[in-house]
Amino acid sequence: MIRRRTALLPLTALLATALTALPAPSAAAEEAEQLRNGTFDTATEPWWASAGVAAGLSDGRLCADVPGGTANPWDAAVGQNDVTLVKGETYRFSFSATGTPEGHAVRAIVGRSTAPYDTWFEVTPQLSVSGNSYAYTFTSPVDTPQAQVAFQVGGGAEPWRFCMDDVSLLGGVPPEVYEPDTGPRVRVNQAGYLPAGPKNATLVTGATTRLPWELKDAAGAVVARGWTVPRGTDASSGQNVHSIDFGAYRRAGSDLTLVADGEASRPFGLGTAAYRRLRTDALKYYYTQRSGIEIRDDLRPGYARPAGHVGIAPNQGDTAVPCQPGVCDYTLDVTGGWYDAGDHGKYVVNGGISTWELLSTYERAGLARTGERAPLGDGSLTVPESGNKVPDILDEARWELEFLLKMQVPDGQPLAGMAHHKIHDEQWTGLPLMPHADPQKRELHPPSTAATLNLAATAAQAARLYKPYDARFAAEALSAARKAWAAALAHPDRYASESDGVGGGTYADPNVTDEFYWAAAELYLSTGEKQFADHVLASPVHTADLFGPLGFDWARTGAAGRLDLALVPSGLPGRDKVRQSVVRGADRYLATLRAHPYGMPYAPDGNAYDWGSNHQVLNNAVVLATAYDLTGAARYRDGALQAMDYVLGRNALNLSYVTGYGEVSSHNQHARWYARQLDASQPSPPRGTLAGGPNSSIQDPFAQSRLQGCVGQFCYIDDIQSWSTNEHTVNWNAALARMASFVADQT
């Protein structure tokens, strides 16, 4: 819900939400129109129309006859160039428009008028024949004299007519204040609690002394009661809060509510079924992310689509992908794998940690006292390979592994054995865009040491896990891992460039000591060879504290090695110390969680929430879960379970960050092919898709225009344009899958 600054601010005094942290409106810049001739009284100049679009003056408006049969919105457009934008200045972009016949939408953008055509603001409103006025506010992330305002009208099968008038881009306006609709002030895990597990909630209130609470069943009868515990001001939200512990109530049920301070929470259940479903859904997410294969409607109703990037026009790949100019003179078939996120890129760094976390979900299930492999087994995920007698989770991970192997530089080429860092489009594409409809040139980017070690680590891990099912594949993976390891040793400092971020993400990581450690650990666990044990024992990472506030992720992979060395049996000298280090890390996360009124094992320095913070919370929970697996001490299991509460609704926004779980959940994640917010014919992301979550750096213009000055948990918006707070990715969902599997195993 978006309201203007003049809106009443109910409860703000006591909620002390992000609003109070907003900077005072800057000494108002003069409001100034940036567009020329937006009224079309006598002419259409200096507006342009793209080839094939007949545009002209009509009743004091600009009207354009749009041809049918184009593929993408930007294939037909009208616009104006040479617009100046000032970084940090807020603009009101407004226009009126009609579309004839009914049913068309326009993609209105403010972006760069030259390559790489960055888009700084975009909206895609539905048009009507009778006409509407539209107005939006955004803050420019750049200084440039070369912006354009464009109305993209392509992508339709049939010709239609677009008319517009009163087009304005007014600079110097006050930023718009976004006030999230956070619903009832009692915050619970909306997906539910385990009957035998901990049950905690958070109350947002102005009260500073304890208040009574009641737990009500579906019929409204009070089944438990108690007192809140005042916790003061929570740094992660700026709110005054109390915590509620109703763990003594253990009867399974649905539609319970927790009532305190005159407010009833969103409904929740006490049961185990939701977590068994979540384990499956979080893993099923990967099939619809697959590249190079048709997605079947019988397997994922509503998500069918043609195979992406298999060399059928307008796709240009991925069957024979060249390098970026000057990088290599061969092409590679790199079909397959998972698309990384909402984009069509495929990245070895990030594919690696994602594959590891799925493989480790399976590996843990076979090693831990509460682990169960059957729910991950053949037929569990309804993928095309179901029925092949191989656990479905391994079939899914293999889809990515095969791609990772294809990214290895072939024998006889310079840097043979290394892995290309990534493959993606030459330019960023707009939204929505189905994978098979992506017309961009695809390119291989230079090999990197980090990618090579991601390949070595995951292929080595695969070698031990696939052996019972496919000895040939296991052997092939191991030899690729060895080759990659040798290549990384020979080229230990080839880093992906921080500036190689056009058309895809950089995933640049200037420190690969941790990747060396992780790869050596996996190679050791699969081969038992001394050379790898020696590397592990000599690495500074082996004794470093890896369990800091932010936790582990695609760039900080030491923990992947450490957790596996702790969990997977081996003869590593000093293995007890390794296990103790994980338990010590878990103790730290437990202390964080207990001090946190929202009960989460995440309190980043300076309250600076990281990109993808939801998965950082979950990865910290993985450390707690592993400590439980290692020690059997219930406090670690309970800590891991509590971390899930945060992700599933016990948070400042009162929102479940997992699509389809809880009464109110994220469902507009930044996505090119689950883009329902932009195109009603597309689906929302599938059930079990995790949103990235609060990100204090709010890198995208949409978030910048809505969330300036946000505090911690409030740096999030469930809008498809907010790629820095609301994307979905294969690595984030892997953390969700691993935790969902752990929780389901506790039933």
| Contacting residues toward ligand 9MR, per CB under 6 A | 340-341, 343, 345, 504-507, 611-612, 723, 727, 729
Q: Which long-range contacts (CB under 8 A, 24 or more apart) does 224-230 make?
A: 224/248, 224/249, 228/203, 228/260
Instruction: Determine the Cα–Cα distance for residues 661 and 347; give it in Å rounded to an integer.
Output: 29
3-state class (DSSP) for residue 491: coil
Peptide bond into 46 cis (omega under 30): yes
Supply the minimum distance, in Å, between the C-beta of residue 703 and ligand 9MR. Answer: 12
360/729 with CB nearer ligand 9MR = 729
Instruction: Determine the Cα–Cα distance for residues 91 and 141; give it in Å rounded to an integer.
Output: 11
DSSP state of 489: H
Supply the minimum distance, in Å, between the C-beta of residue 97 and ligand 9MR. Answer: 31
- Strand segments, DSSP code E, in 113-252 are 119-123, 132-139, 144-152, 160-171, 186-187, 200-204, 212-216, 222-227, 229-234, 239-245
552/723 with CB nearer ligand 9MR = 723
343/645 with CB nearer ligand 9MR = 343
> Which of 636, 657, 633 is closest to 593 using CA atoms?
636
Supply the minimum distance, in Å, between the C-beta of residue 466 and ligand 9MR. Answer: 27
396/509 with CB nearer ligand 9MR = 509
Supply the minimum distance, in Å, between the C-beta of residue 66 and ligand 9MR. Answer: 31
For residue 311, the tally of other CB atoms under 10 A from its CB is 15
**CB distance 718 to 706 below 8 Å:** no
Supply the minimum distance, in Å, between the C-beta of residue 398 and ligand 9MR. Answer: 22
Supply the minimum distance, in Å, between the C-beta of residue 725 and ligand 9MR. Answer: 10
Question: Measuring CA to CA, how many Å separate 312 from each of 155, 197, 212, 308, 346?
Answer: 18, 51, 64, 9, 18
End-to-end alpha carbon distance in the chain = 38
Supply the minimum distance, in Å, between the C-beta of residue 586 and ligand 9MR. Answer: 24
Instruction: Determine the Cα–Cα distance for residues 83 and 169; give it in Å rounded to an integer.
Output: 9
29/555 with CB nearer ligand 9MR = 555
Residues serving a catalytic function are 343, 670, 718, 727
Instruction: Determine the Cα–Cα distance for residues 663 and 69; give it in Å rounded to an integer.
Output: 40
297/498 with CB nearer ligand 9MR = 498
The closest residue (CB) to ligand 9MR is: 505
75/425 with CB nearer ligand 9MR = 425
112/672 with CB nearer ligand 9MR = 672
142/223 with CB nearer ligand 9MR = 142
445/579 with CB nearer ligand 9MR = 445
Is the Cα torsion angle 730, 734, 735, 736 positive or negative in sign? positive
Query: For residue 342, how many C-alpha atoms fall within 13 Å in the half-sphere facing its CB?
Result: 30
Instruction: Determine the Cα–Cα distance for residues 542 and 163; give it in Å rounded to an integer.
Output: 65
Supply the minimum distance, in Å, between the C-beta of residue 342 and ligand 9MR. Answer: 6
| Per-residue H/E/C for 616-656 | HHHHHHHHHHHHHHHHCCHHHHHHHHHHHHHHCCCCCCCCE
Supply the minimum distance, in Å, between the C-beta of residue 675 and ligand 9MR. Answer: 15
Instruction: Determine the Cα–Cα distance for residues 738 and 731; give it in Å rounded to an integer.
Output: 11
Instruction: Determine the Cα–Cα distance for residues 498 and 507; give it in Å rounded to an integer.
Output: 8
Supply the minimum distance, in Å, between the C-beta of residue 501 and ligand 9MR. Answer: 7
525/546 with CB nearer ligand 9MR = 546
Supply the minimum distance, in Å, between the C-beta of residue 727 and ligand 9MR. Answer: 4
Is the Cα torsion angle 577, 582, 585, 591 positive or negative in sign? negative
Q: Please report where in the chains the tokens 């590593």 appear, as a residue.
A: 572
Length of the chain: 747
**CB distance 321 to 332 below 8 Å:** yes
For residue 438, the tally of other CB atoms under 10 A from its CB is 23
List, as one string, the DSSP characters of 337-396. SB--SSSS-EEHHHHHHHHHHHHHHHHHHHHSTT--SGGGSTTSS--TTTTSSS-HHHHH
What the block records as the tokens of 395 is 């079939």
